[in-house]
Structure 1
């Protein structure tokens, strides 16, 4: 199987890396995090101008018809640069729901504004006791006339502070943990009855806890089948997990490069500490962990397009297990090898470790996905 990038994919990789090297070094990132919402609207507009926000959408919707490989390329580059802009919740998740389940009217209403950068999304899915179970939903959506009334609470909604549109999972029938009776709704972030509590997350991003109190939306707010939305949710979330795997690979690659450079320049007893054999062995182990993560990230990227839901889910879960293990190992070793400076806010390596830790916990940690693989009977 040929894993080389096509000419168009190589050009995409070079263009995004050139953009980030020019405008997204570590010091600039600190400034962007202090802007409203925790990210730079100027950078977001540049991403739009370069066509990155249009990548996964079909050509007849104004996009480029790109696939999971192009998303992987972008997310790896974003990982290396610690990009904070809401590409994942807007383009990958929001765009995923529109591409796979949106009506023609919903696509026409939302996709152009995603592509031009004027509309960002947030995925309001996590609840107080739901853990990583996508079907554990207590937020309700009840029919009222020609629309719906949504009530409930969602927590740790990334980009919830500044998103224009919320993607809300809500129960339309059945009990809390039933897999049937779950719908997906597009809700304006400024709708009456919505209240938010904002806060920073450990990796420097911004999140919000959102309360919905009798929020009324039209019938056209429901994406696909409002009584059987779980398959759509699982498909989009698997694509998001694959994208997170790619971002983690970029972060791990950057962490390893920074650690190797530090080992070459930091001196002790008059010699670079990289000359110590035990530290060389640690760096070699980090390299092996990175290569394992790269392979599984590619596997997840290919699997994200599987039509068979069980095959897709198992493959992405396996990738998330390896990504979580590699991220933990490389992150911990990079901090250890940097010593005390790795724990400071001034050092980029510590921020890479924080982001890796958050990715490991997002949409299921390694233990969660290992359990899912075990319960399904394994990959073989």
Structure 2
């Protein structure tokens, strides 16, 4: 398959990379990470001005009508800069639920403000003790006149500490693990009975613990069909996996570039260590792993248009399995070739490793998706 970017896509990528190069060096990133929110509102406004936040939404709703390819390009550039801002939580996850599950009235009320950088979203789905199965939900939604009552606890909600609205998954009927009986709700963070506590993740980002104590939600804030939300949840998670695959490619690219620069400048026995053949071979192995991951990220973006849900599920599991393994390999090689400095948080390679491990863990790690792929008969089913 021939894959060639259009002129508009090249312009988008170049503009975003130029903005990040001018305003998002590693020292500035460390300064952003030390703030209470852990990221920069100023950079977020710059993303809005560039159109990055409006990209995947329809033009008639205040967006730019971008495809999965544009999302892939943005994610890769953000990964290469180790960006901390809540783009994944707001645009890909929260925005995905708006695009695929919200009413036209709800989209009209939120999408323009999201695109302008005025509204932040988060996906409150993961629960303590739950598996990576999207249907493993214990939080309950009880029907009452004019709306719903939510009760439960969510954890590790990415950027849930600053979100203005939370997309909360809950069970209307059935037992944890059953695909039938799930619902999704858009809940204001200021809702009575909702409490949140800020968490700091291993990769330097922020998340939240969310407690829902009889939280009232109106009918017009239901996303999709109550009790039939599993396909919606799975679809948005698959889009997030595709974005994470592209981000991982960006992070791996940064780790490789830093490693090559280090091999050229670090001297041992009177010459650069990059002159030693065994280290050259390891750097080459890193590059091969990155190119494999890049191919899978492109395939992930293309697979989102697959109409067959089972085929799409297999493809995204294959992507997640390979991206997790290649990301871990590149991170380990980068740290080993740097030596002790590679493990410090004062140097970018350590942050690359932390982010790649976090990407592997999100929405099921490589081992989980490899097992899921095997249970489903493999990537290519036998005739």
TM-score range, shorter chain: over 0.9
The answer as to 2:375 corresponding to 1:375 is: yes
Unaligned runs of 5+ in 1: none
Query: 1:25-75: per-residue Cα shift (whole Å, max 9, x none)?
Result: 000011111223211111101100111111000111111110000000000
Residue 308 (structure 1) aligns with: 308
Which residue matches 2:113?
Answer: 113
Scaled by the length of structure 1, the TM-score of the pair is: 0.99
Are 2:84 and 1:84 aligned?
yes
Which string of whole-angstrom CA distances, capped at 9 and with x for unpartnered residues, describes residues 311-342 of structure 1? 11111111111101110100001000001111
1:14 aligned partner: 14
- 1:157 CA drift (Å): 0.5
Q: What is the alpha-carbon distance in structure 2 between the residues aligned to residue 257 and residue 142 of structure 1?
A: 52
Counterpart residue number, 2:75: 75
Partner of 2:295: 295
The secondary structure found in structure 1 opposite 2:214 is strand
The DSSP-based 3-state class of the residue aligned with 1:38 is coil
CA RMSD of aligned residues (A): 0.8
Mapping for residues 205-284 of structure 1, pairs under 5 Å: 205-284=205-284
1:373 alignment partner, SS class:
helix
Moved more, 241-250 or 103-112: 103-112
Using the TM superposition, give the Cα deviation of residue 178 of structure 1 relative to its aligned residue in structure 2, in angstroms: 1.5
Q: How much has 1:176 moved relative to structure 2?
A: 2.1
In structure 1, distance between residues paired with 2:193 and 2:142 = 15
Runs of 4+ aligned structure 1 residues displaced above 4 Å come to none
Q: Give the Cα–Cα distance (whole angstroms) in 2 for the partners of residues 305 and 61 of structure 1.
A: 21
SS at match of 1:52: coil
Separation in 2, partners of 1:288, 1:104 = 45
| Deviation, structure 1 residue 250 | 0.2
Distance in 1 (alpha carbons) for counterparts of 2:305 and 2:239 = 8
| Separation in structure 2 between the aligned mates of residue 345 and residue 177 of structure 1, nearest angstrom | 38
Matches within 5 A, 1:352-363: 352-363=352-363
1:122 is paired with a residue whose SS is strand
Q: Which residue of 2 aligns with 1:196?
A: 196
Match of 1:55? 55
Counterpart-to-counterpart distance in 2, 1:206 and 1:43: 16
**How far 1:227 sits from its partner (Å)?**
1.0
Matched, 1:25 2:25: yes
Gaps spanning 5+ residues in structure 2: where? none
Matches of 1:2 and 1:299 in 2, distance apart?
12
C-alpha displacement at 1:12, in angstroms?
Answer: 0.5
* 2-structure distance, mates of 1:257, 1:330: 11
Secondary structure in structure 1 of the residue aligned to 2:184: strand
In 2, the alpha carbon distance for the partners of 1:334 and 1:177 equals 39
- Normalised to the residue count of structure 2, the TM-score between the two structures is 0.98
Aligned residues: 380
Paired residue for 2:139?
Answer: 139
* 1:341-360 pair list within 5 angstroms: 341-360=341-360
Q: Deviation string for 1:246-294 (max 9, x for gaps)? A: 0000000111111011001000011000011111111111111111111
What's 1:148 paired with?
148
Alignment partners' CA distance in 2, 1:195 and 1:94: 19
